[in-house]
Amino acid sequence: MGSSPQARGLMGALMVRSLILLSLLAGAVVGGRNQVRHYNFDVEYVFGAPDCKEHVVMGINGQFPGPTIRAKAGDTVVVHLTNKLHTEGVVIHWHGIRQLGTPWADGTASISQCAINPGEVFTYRFLVDKPGTYFYHGHYGMQRSAGLYGSLIVDVAEGEREPFHYDGELNLLLSDWWHQSVHEQEVGLSSAPMRWIGEPQSLLLNGRGQYNCSLAAQYSNSSSKQCKLRGGEKCAPMIMNVQPKKTYRLRIASTTALASLNLAIGNHKMLVVEADGNYVQPFLVDDLDIYSGESYSVLITTNQNPKNNYWVSVGVRGREPKTPQGLTLLNYLPNSASKLPVSPPPVTPRWDDYNHSKTFSKSVLARMGSPKPPRFYNRRMILLNTQNMINGHTKWAINNVSLVLPATPYLGSVKFLLNHTFDQRSPPESYPANYDIMKPPVNTNTTTSSGVYRLKFKSTVDVILQNTNAIKANVSEIHPWHLHGHDFWVLGYGEGKFSKNDEKKLNLKNPPLRNTAVIFPYGWTALRFVADNRGVWAFHCHIEPHLHMGMGVIFDIEGRFVRGIPSEALACGATGRMMTKDGKYH
Amino acid sequence: MGSSPQARGLMGALMVRSLILLSLLAGAVVGGRNQVRHYNFDVEYVFGAPDCKEHVVMGINGQFPGPTIRAKAGDTVVVHLTNKLHTEGVVIHWHGIRQLGTPWADGTASISQCAINPGEVFTYRFLVDKPGTYFYHGHYGMQRSAGLYGSLIVDVAEGEREPFHYDGELNLLLSDWWHQSVHEQEVGLSSAPMRWIGEPQSLLLNGRGQYNCSLAAQYSNSSSKQCKLRGGEKCAPMIMNVQPKKTYRLRIASTTALASLNLAIGNHKMLVVEADGNYVQPFLVDDLDIYSGESYSVLITTNQNPKNNYWVSVGVRGREPKTPQGLTLLNYLPNSASKLPVSPPPVTPRWDDYNHSKTFSKSVLARMGSPKPPRFYNRRMILLNTQNMINGHTKWAINNVSLVLPATPYLGSVKFLLNHTFDQRSPPESYPANYDIMKPPVNTNTTTSSGVYRLKFKSTVDVILQNTNAIKANVSEIHPWHLHGHDFWVLGYGEGKFSKNDEKKLNLKNPPLRNTAVIFPYGWTALRFVADNRGVWAFHCHIEPHLHMGMGVIFDIEGRFVRGIPSEALACGATGRMMTKDGKYH
């Protein structure tokens, strides 16, 4: 991270702005001019062509990706969701929104609510208290992979200003795409032996990629042919139009099913200013790593040769990439979008250059003035991430327990003490001391469970995510873990097994607040959060097939005392049955 | 229908048996030795290869087709159905079982019950009062097309005997198969413009067909290559093993999504003795037409050269066939199954030889002693079958109304007078007198509705199904209509528009009792039934995509007075919500 003139300019703009802002931030975020913003979402399958090849996608109001929700901090967002699928239930999770006081609106099937049945309408109503870059997506089966996602952007409250200046804004929602249907992917993953979904066929930027061709074929000597797109096609890249000599905020979120990504813009450095809806200590990068479930804002200044356009490229990290770059153009107006850049698209760092990734992740630190973590924790759990087997089925497990979701949503079960609906034993909070994380598990057997961790309201909880070797020797994968209902502080990343000695290396000074954090191969990541939002919340690997294979845990934060759950949220399973007197109508 | 020695032998056997049986039939069918037969059905997707090409299929307990249910008349069948799908609801309809007094067990989503959610168990419990050849299948979205079906065979009650003799029994469940997933088919059918599913890739006998090859390639000069199957493959034909000089009952049922079929056995005539679970006046045929939703029993005598095996072939009728014959072998033991017949498989009659089809259908008449229809009807409705358009979407409509099912099952809505859950206006009972059925509709517009016909309990209802020209000129399709909860008498078939003059041609003497009857192109079919089973019942075209496009009506037979509905059947939609007091938990 050098200090080019470009960088110094950005830094300067930012510091001035910060001083102004600090004085403005005295007022409450939730002011008197907050609005209720209504959206009607019809979810249904439509024919799309995310990567130029026609495919059924899960769309909203006929669009893929779904419409962007835009609100101001302090507003209430109301989404009337109509399920227009034929036989499938559906829910939508508002990723990064903490759902303060509305745990039933978190949109997680089997956890916060019943899946919405075909033909039914469910109304999500929640406060967006904090400005930032968020997104929403399906959270039932693997419907996110089927294309059920969109952006959710929260601006600062009316009358407030962001702590940095920019002239314009651009938005990139990143995803990955397979040609095999999600239904078939699910069957394969659940089969014995498992059939892995493989690497994605395409990377999508705002739902657009190119499978049979490359936008940048003429720069390479690869075999892929040049795309012949006029720009009106469903899969034509969404061009990022900019004026020269301006500063833009580029919002980037990743809702990939699998791929860890790296984004770079030819000739342009990026100043990272926000991560997961929290301001960070600004830092400059040439390229940005982003894992599924994460979001960033970066500032870019269009101070390059205005006669040229520049590539925006996205590549795969952390897995041997078999997927072509995702591409679009940063188009300096008034240049034509058909004017191709003079140099080839930036190349992603080597997929297994983990030092590059670690340097990036560790650079994300809280902006001055951000809330600090409590100095001490009330409870610490160590969660060992292992790949396992059950009767020939491949699973992922945490402390040797692979998560299986119950038919009745946890929130209803804990609220009404329906103890038969899920496993009442809590999973273990640590793993055997003699476990060798550098080797495949000695015993690959695991158990499934629907058990939950019960957390005290307002307690401070540490989670040490401990990575290990998978079943195959010399393989340890990246897992981005996402917490619902809360942000956590990322206290640190380390190599090997977390031990007492690592304790003092934890960053209690300026750890970033996030909702998603990655564990690197053979390493650990330490998180701290205050369990101050009553409800039942998922904490899970955000890789869609990994969650499908059991890679998650459930936190019950005194869900028993949640009040005001709308009955529509729980009109299924044991909570649905509970509502009748003797099981028969009269 | 000649009177070969074979025929005379069969007829003789039948008459003797009839006399014996008549004296036995005095006792009630429901005797003291009736059993309760329990089945556990786990519904989930599995990898199959119905026609040798691997495909995801909807299986039960890992099997496709699902397990055969076998019971005796008077028994109670109990099926504990667990939904192991990931995001889809499911129900199973017990096709041909009238559900006397148990309308909630009919297994029709949105009509008799809520779809069973993933992870949930629903128990179907119903009386099988009448011996016969039945089957079961999914009745939600197009899950039947996805492979959710199996046989249901009811033998005569303990101590009773069938009214004909046979030495052994064979069972053939016929279906058709597409390589496009059902989810994609559904999206295509619902799109504007509609994407038609086309003709099936394969015909399946007991879930087995051959796509890339033919079992009988060596007889033809077609381009299809000879199958190389060892017999252990998932798609290898299920060989029909027989002993020479015996009589076999061959049960045949069709659960096709689209195809009307014709079945023939090389060198063997068939004596038709049962249709849709009702005994018929036996008649001999060389080949048998069977439409989706129908079932037959035929007797065959293995009196041909015992050194040879014989082809059993199934072909398409009523639509220009683009699907190869379905084939299996009638294997005279102890011949090897690898001994191929000396002559090629029987050829299906020309697809548009409707006279052949009509002759067959009209030959189905009630066996002597069968219940006769009431002489007069209380109400007669004429149902015009038209193809229509709504905003670019292609629909099928009845009297210009295209059926759309509500989110709350009708049975609950009518029971609890939840009038807001569906259209309270009943659809029309006839169509304009000046409608020209020989031409495409002058006005192709139609409306959708969830309205029902309300029928008086125990009233006698006539339904005249009136066929017309579809949207395209000179096209009129076959539609097999299936009634739930009742059998009807087929009073007759006719050409053109049904008129007063046709009244006297109706057969009130020995019309067959059936649950499915076809309308031929540009013709009418007259049905009569006594609405003596309270509940809400579907009456619809059994072609899966046609029903999906609105081709059905709903009969409410005093569902208001149904008692004993298990609450699990209605724990969704407005009936689910009704169960709470003020919409909130406390």
- What does each C-alpha distance from A74 to A32, A37, A77, A109 come to in angstroms? 9, 11, 10, 26
Band (pLDDT 50/70/90 cuts) for residue A24 is very low
The predicted structure's pLDDT at residue A68: 98
pLDDT tens figures, A387-409: 999 999 999 999 999 999 999 99
Q: Which of A111-115, B66-70, B227-231 shows the lowest mean pLDDT across its residues? A: B227-231
pLDDT of residue B212: 85
Share the mean pLDDT of chain A: 93
The kind and range of the H/E element at A6 are helix A5-24
Calpha distance A192→B348 (Å, rounded): 42
Q: Percent of chain B having pLDDT more than 90?
A: 88
Confidence at residue A579, expressed as pLDDT on a 0 to 100 scale: 63
Average pLDDT over residues B527-545: 98
CA A105 to CA A112: how far, in whole Å? Answer: 7
**pLDDT for res A23:** 37
The bridge status of strand B488-495 relative to strand B513-514 is antiparallel
A192-207 pLDDT per residue, tens: 999 999 999 999 999 9
Of the two residues A570 and B68, the one the predictor is more confident about is: B68
Summarised one tens digit per residue, pLDDT across range A226-267 is 999 988 899 999 999 999 999 999 999 999 999 999 999 999
B236 to chain A nearest CA, in Å? Answer: 23
Cβ neighbors of A60 (< 8 A, separation 6 or more) are: A41, A42, A43, A66, A67, A148, A150
Nearest residue, CB atoms, B47 vs list A45, A56, A187: A187
The mean pLDDT value for A337-343 works out to: 95
Closest Cβ opposite residue B576 in set A110, A115, A576:
A576
Band (A16; pLDDT cuts 50, 70, 90): very low
* Residue type for position A29: V
A–B CB contacts, 8 A cutoff, strictly below: 142
Between chains, do B579 and A583 touch, taking CB under 8 Å as contact?
no
CA dist A319 and A261 (Å) reads: 10
Could you give the domains of chain A? 36-155 (2.60.40.420), 168-218+227-366 (2.60.40.420), 379-575 (2.60.40.420)
How far are the Cα atoms of A148, A258, A315, B300 from residue A479, in angstroms, in the given order?
21, 9, 17, 64
Q: pLDDT tens digit string along A403-460?
A: 999 999 999 999 999 999 999 999 999 999 999 999 999 999 899 999 999 999 999 9
pLDDT at A6: 52
Q: What is the ipTM of this complex?
A: 0.92
Cβ separation B566–A583 shorter than 8 A: yes
Question: Do the chains contact at A56 and B566, CB–CB below 8 Å?
Answer: no
Contacts of B138 (CB under 8 A, 6+ apart): B58, B90, B91, B92, B93, B144, B146, B148, B149
H or E element, residue B151: strand B149-155
pLDDT computed for residue B580 by the predictor:
55
> CB of A118 within 8 A of CB of A415?
no
* Contact across the interface for A565 and B584, Cβ inside 8 Å: yes
pTM, entire model: 0.93
List of residues 6+ apart from A7 with CB closer than 8 A: A1, A269, A271, A284
pLDDT at A321: 87
Which pLDDT value is given to residue A583? Answer: 46
Nearest by CB: B571 against A142, A563, A572: A572
Question: Which pLDDT value is given to residue B231?
Answer: 86
Residue A580: pLDDT band (50, 70, 90) is: low
Residues of A in contact with B183 (CB under 8 A): 45, 56, 181, 183
Of B132, B21, B14, the C-alpha closest to B513 is: B132
- Cβ–Cβ below 8 Å for B47 and A191: yes
What are B61's two structure tokens?
């307990």
Chain length of chain A: 586
Average pLDDT, chain B: 93
For residues B296 and B272, the answer to whether their CB atoms sit within 8 Å is yes
Q: What pLDDT does residue A32 have?
A: 61
CB contact (8 A) between residue B119 and residue A406:
yes
B/e letters for A265-286, b = 16+ CB within 10 Å, e = fewer, are bbbbbbbbbbbbbbbbebbbbe
Query: Is the distance from CB of B98 to CB of B533 less than 8 angstroms?
Result: yes
